Amino acid sequence: MGKRRRKQHVRGRPGPGARGPGSARAAENGGAGPGFGARAIGEVIDRGVAACFPHARAGPAGELVRALARGPSHPEGPALVDLALGEALVEAVTGAWGRGWQPADLHRMVERTHTRAHGRLSAVALGCEARRYADAFVPVRWRQQLDAVGAVSPPDGNDRWAVPLTPAAGGLWGDGVPSIDDRADAVRVAVETLALIRTLPSLPRLAPGPGESTGQRAGGRAPGAPGSPRAAGPAGGVDPRIVHRVTALLAKAESTMYPDEAEALTAKAQELMTRHAIDVAAVEAGQGGDALVSGRRIGIDDPYARARVTLLSEVARANRCRAVWSRGLGFATVFGDEGDLDAVEVLYTSLLVQATRSMVVARPPGSGIGGGGAPSASATRSFRQSFLVAYAHRIGDRLRQVADATAADAAAEHAGSPDGGSLLPVLARRADAAEAAAAAAYPNLKTFSTTGRDAEGWAAGRLAADRAHLGTEGVLGAHRGSRTTPSLGAA
C-alpha cells in the first residue's frame, strides 16, 4: 500500500478517497490551491494568464500566481511549474513570430509594457526559440536583433530559467532556499510576460522568419513583386564601408559642441548615402525590373512621441521611404529600399540625439536670471514639443535639398552613359514602391499633422536646424516662405 501511494504521489494523483489538508481550498480555486495535481499545471498557468493584468498582486491572478509559486502536490512541484512556464513562453514566442513580430519588436513591447525584468525574461525565451534553428536558417537581420536584445539561451540542463531565483539564506523554506514571496514575484513576472506575448496582435510580415524560405515575400507575393518586402541580408543593404563612414560622421556630429559643424557633418552623411543609392540605382537601371521594398520597425515612445515620429517621417521622405506610426504599439514601420532604410535608421538615430541636445540647451521664455522664475511644466513641454516639430520640418527640408542636389549632379555626370537618363526614374520608382507597400500593409491608414503652438519654441527649433551652411549657397541655402505641414501616416 505504501509503495502504491508513493507511486501515485509522484504522478500527482492522490489515492482513492484521499483528501489532503488543502483539498477544499483547491476545489474552491478550480484546482489552483496547494493540493492541485501536477497534471493541472498547464490549466492553472492558462487561468493565471487569463486573469492577468499588469502588476496584479491581489484577486484571482494573485491567488493563482501564489498557487503556482508553491507548486502542485508533488515532490518536485516547483520545478515542474518552472519547466511548464518555460515551455509556454517559448511556444508563445513561436506564435508571435508567426504573427509578424520580430525579436526587437517583441522585446521592446514587453519592456515598455512591464519592467526590465520582464524584458530580460522575454530575451531568454527569444534565445531558446532561436536555438531551435541552425544559424544558416536564421536571417541576418533577425540574428542582429537577437544579439542586440541579449537573447542568449540558458546553459544546457537549466530547465528552470523561467523563474530565476537567487537562494536566500534564512528563507521561508529553510537555509539556501528562496522565500515563497520571492518565488511568487518571479512567477508573476513569468505569467505577465506570457500573457502579453500570447495576446500580441498580428502585424504585417516584413521578411521571412527563421526556417522560412527567403524566396517567399510578405503577404504571399511572388519574389520581385512591386511593394513586396524582401529578406534582409548582406546583399540587401548598404555597403558596410559606406555605413562605417556614415556612422563615423554622425558620431562626430553628435559629439561636437559646435552646431555648424554638426549640421555640416550630417549633410555630408546624407550626401554619402544618396551617392550610394544612386550607384545602386545605376546598376538597377541597367538590369531593369521592379523596385523591391523592405520594412523596418523603429521604436517611438514618449515624451514628445508625435515630434519624434515627425522627425522620422521627414528623414524617411528625404530618402524615398514611407513611415507609418502604430501609436498603441510604440513603433513606426518604415518601408523602402533596403539601402534607403539603412540611411533612414542611422540618420534618424543621430538626428534625434542632436535635436534632444539642442532642445535641452534652448530655454523656454521665463527661465534664467531675470526671467521671472522657472517656467511651468506645461510651458516647458509646449516649448520643447514646438522645438522638436520645427526642427524636424526644417531638417527634412535641408536633407531633401542635399539629396536632390546630389541626385541632379549624379544624373548630369551620367548623362552621356546609356543608362544615364534612367537614374532619376529609378529613384522615383523606389519612392512610389514604398508608398504602395505602406498602403498594402496598412489598408486603413489614417493621416495626421503635427503642429507647434509655442512660437518661441518653433523659432528656436528652426534656428537649431538652420544655422549651418550645408553646401552651395544658391542650392542649399535657407528655405524662405511658409511651408505646409505634411500628413503623417498612422495605423
**Rounded to whole angstroms, how far apart are CA atoms 66 and 177?**
16
Is the confidence at residue 441, as pLDDT, over 80? yes
Query: Do 388 and 430 share a domain, yes or no?
Result: yes
User: What is the residue-averaged pLDDT of the chain?
Assistant: 76
Query: Do 314 and 401 share a domain, yes or no?
Result: yes
The number of CA neighbours under 13 Å toward the Cβ of 159 is 10
pLDDT score of 489 = 67
Q: How confident is the model at residue 131 (pLDDT cuts 50, 70, 90)?
A: very high
pLDDT score of 380 = 84
Residue that has been written with the C-alpha cell 551617392 in this structure: 275
Decide if 10 is inside a domain: no
Query: Do 173 and 240 share a domain, yes or no?
Result: no
Burial 54-78 (b: 16+ CB within 10 A, else e): eebeeebbbbbbbbbbbbbbbeebb
- Out of 94-98, 209-213, 287-291, 355-359, pick the least confident: 287-291
The top-scoring range by mean pLDDT among 53-57, 135-139, 194-198 is 194-198
Decide if 320 is inside a domain: yes
pLDDT score of 426 = 78
Query: Do 165 and 244 share a domain, yes or no?
Result: no
Share of the chain residues as helix, strand and coil, in percent rounded to the nearest 5: 60, 5, 35
Query: Do 272 and 356 share a domain, yes or no?
Result: yes
For the stretch 81-99, pLDDT in tens is: 999 999 999 999 999 999 9
Is the confidence at residue 239, as pLDDT, over 70? no
Note down the domain range covering 112.
27-198
pLDDT score of 286 = 52
Decide if 204 is inside a domain: no
Residue that has been written with the C-alpha cell 515542474 in this structure: 80
Query: Do 310 and 356 share a domain, yes or no?
Result: yes
Decide if 416 is inside a domain: yes
pLDDT score of 367 = 55
Percent of the chain's residues with pLDDT above 90:
34
Q: How confident is the model at residue 108 (pLDDT cuts 50, 70, 90)?
A: very high
- For the chain, the domain total comes to 2
Better-predicted residue by pLDDT, 52 or 188 = 188
Query: Do 159 and 273 share a domain, yes or no?
Result: no
Q: Are 316 and 334 in contact (CB under 8 A)?
A: yes
Query: Do 192 and 239 share a domain, yes or no?
Result: no
Decide if 223 is inside a domain: no
pTM, rounded to two decimals:
0.74
**Rounded to whole angstroms, how far apart are CA atoms 244 and 241?**
5
Query: Do 147 and 248 share a domain, yes or no?
Result: no
- Out of 90-99, 199-208, 224-233, 366-375, pick the least confident: 224-233
Decide if 297 is inside a domain: yes
Starting at the earlier edge strand, list the strands of the sheet with 446-448. Answer: 294-299, 331-336, 322-326, 488-490, 446-448
